[in-house]
Every structure is written in structure tokens, then in C-alpha cells.
């Protein structure tokens, strides 16, 4: 369901006019839809499974600091996909000051240091040592939750569970009106939330799988590296 579909679904259930493009009830419903999406997506399991994203970037020789979009809420991993094929270690700025205060080291990066956000919201990360050339990396991250604003946007939830947001907005409005139908909306919302929780927990967890082995020398060589 789109953002507009969800607005109209809630407005109709509340016996409000769903044809007016702007109205006080529609404004409240829009706010409620975004509020409930944010509340759901900040739960640990939902954050891990519904907000995980990735991007790729390539370094420039002797450039140690890189900016990433404001949509990157948190970095999970930075992985060298070309030279060393390793995950870079996360380190703090104090560590960097201890091991290379003059920042003279150069080569294949083995660590990254979060450096906060710029005034425009971009996330700044420093690689260490400074890249000696053009190296390819994959950045796994948790996406920032952005409010839906355009009518054709869809929630980040799986489509089968979109109506959960409409029920949350309905419940809020019934509570505002001091109407007992808030309890009905709440019961329906909680039932769907339980199904969503089951859906998320049933997704494959690689940590439960047997370890996978491989060799950098090819498939005909016995494995010398193992990962779950």
C-alpha cells in the first residue's frame, strides 16, 4: 500500500472524508502513520532485517576520509572486496592517535574510524592506513528512518503488514476522541504485530548454519578459511 492508500484506509475506517487532499484529520493520520513506522522499525529485530542496506565505494590514493549519505544511520561493516578480502576493524579516534599520530602510514586499509557527521548530515569515516591506490569496498549499514512525505511512497515494512500502520493511526485517533473503538483497533494491531514478529524471527539466520570454508587459491584447494 502506498502512503496515500494508507491515509485513505485509516480515514475511511474513522468515518472521515477521504476525498479531501488536505484536512486536519488527514494531517493527523499522516503523522500517525510515520510515528508507527518509526516505532516498529526501531525494534532490534526489525532494524536488523528491514533496514539493512549496502553500498559500494572505491578509494582514491592518499585520500583517507570519505563521506557517506545522511541515509546511513549506522555502519555495520566495511569489507575489502578486492585486495585483502577482509572486514575492516572498527577503531576509535584515540586508537588512531596512538598508532599513527602523524597519519603517515599508507597501504591497504585494515581499520576504519567513525568521525561523526558534517553539518550537512553526511557521515564521515577515516580509513587507516591511508589507501595506497583504488581499492573496492562494500559498506553494510542500517538505513535512517525517513518520514513518508510523497503519496506514492511505500513503508519499509513487508507489504503484507502495511495495514499495521493504518491500524496504529486509527487507534491514536480513537484515543484522541475518547472512543472505545480504540480497543478494537489496538487488538487488531497487536494481532498483526505478533504475525510480523513471527515473520521476522522465521527469516534465515546464518549463525545457525554450518560454517562455510573456502581457499583464496581456488575451489580445487582445501579450505583454509571458515565463516558461519
Note whether 67 and 180 are same-domain residues. Answer: no
- Shared domain for 93 and 28, answered yes or no, is no
In terms of domains, do 44 and 68 share one?
no
Domain shared by 163 and 113, yes or no? no
One domain for residues 84 and 197: no
Q: Are residues 115 and 84 in the same domain?
A: yes
Domains identified in the chain, total number: 2
User: Is 217 domain-assigned?
Assistant: no
- pTM, whole model, 2 decimals? 0.70
Average pLDDT over residues 177-201: 93
Domain-located, residue 130:
yes
Mean pLDDT across the chain? 89
Q: Give tens-digit pLDDT for 111-134.
A: 999 999 988 999 999 999 999 999
Going edge to edge, which strands form the sheet with 111-117? Answer: 65-68, 123-128, 111-117, 89-90
The average pLDDT across 130-139 equals 95
The answer to whether position 214 is within a domain reads no
Residue 219 domain-assigned (yes or no): no
Same domain, 44 and 155: yes
> In this structure, is residue 206 part of a structural domain?
no
Flag whether 220 is in a domain.
no
Question: Beta-carbon neighbour count of residue 181 at 10 Å?
Answer: 15
Residue ranges making up the domain that contains 78: 52-143
HSE-up of residue 170 (Cα within 13 Å, Cβ side): 26
Instruction: Identify the residue whose cell numbers are 502495511.
Output: 162
Residue 90 lies in a domain: yes
Amino acid at each position: 500500500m502506498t502512503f496515500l492508500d494508507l491515509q485513505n484506509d485509516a480515514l475511511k475506517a474513522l468515518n472521515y472524508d477521504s476525498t479531501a487532499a488536505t484536512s486536519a484529520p488527514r494531517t493527523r493520520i499522516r503523522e500517525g502513520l510515520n510515528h508507527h513506522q518509526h516505532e516498529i522499525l526501531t525494534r532490534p529485530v526489525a532494524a536488523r532485517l528491514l533496514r539493512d542496506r549496502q553500498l559500494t565505494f572505491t578509494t582514491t590514493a592518499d585520500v583517507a576520509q570519505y563521506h557517506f549519505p545522511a541515509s546511513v544511520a549506522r555502519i555495520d561493516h566495511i569489507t575489502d572486496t578486492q585486495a585483502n578480502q577482509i572486514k575492516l576493524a572498527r577503531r576509535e579516534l584515540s586508537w588512531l592517535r596512538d598508532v599513527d599520530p602523524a597519519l603517515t602510514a599508507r597501504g591497504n586499509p585494515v581499520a576504519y574510524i567513525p568521525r561523526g557527521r558534517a553539518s550537512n548530515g553526511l557521515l564521515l569515516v577515516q580509513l587507516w592506513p591511508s589507501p595506497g591506490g583504488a581499492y573496492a569496498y562494500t559498506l553494510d549499514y542500517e538505513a535512517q528512518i525517513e518520514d513518508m512525505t510523497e503519496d506514492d511512497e511505500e513503508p519499509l515494512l513487508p507489504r503484507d503488514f502495511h495495514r499495521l500502520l493504518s491500524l496504529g493511526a486509527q487507534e491514536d485517533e480513537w484515543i484522541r476522541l475518547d472512543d472505545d473503538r480504540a480497543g478494537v483497533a489496538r487488538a487488531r494491531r497487536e494481532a498483526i504485530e505478533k504475525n510480523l514478529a513471527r515473520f521476522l524471527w522465521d527469516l534465515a539466520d546464518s549463525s545457525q548454519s554450518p560454517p562455510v570454508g573456502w581457499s583464496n587459491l581456488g575451489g580445487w584447494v582445501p579450505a583454509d578459511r571458515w565463516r558461519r
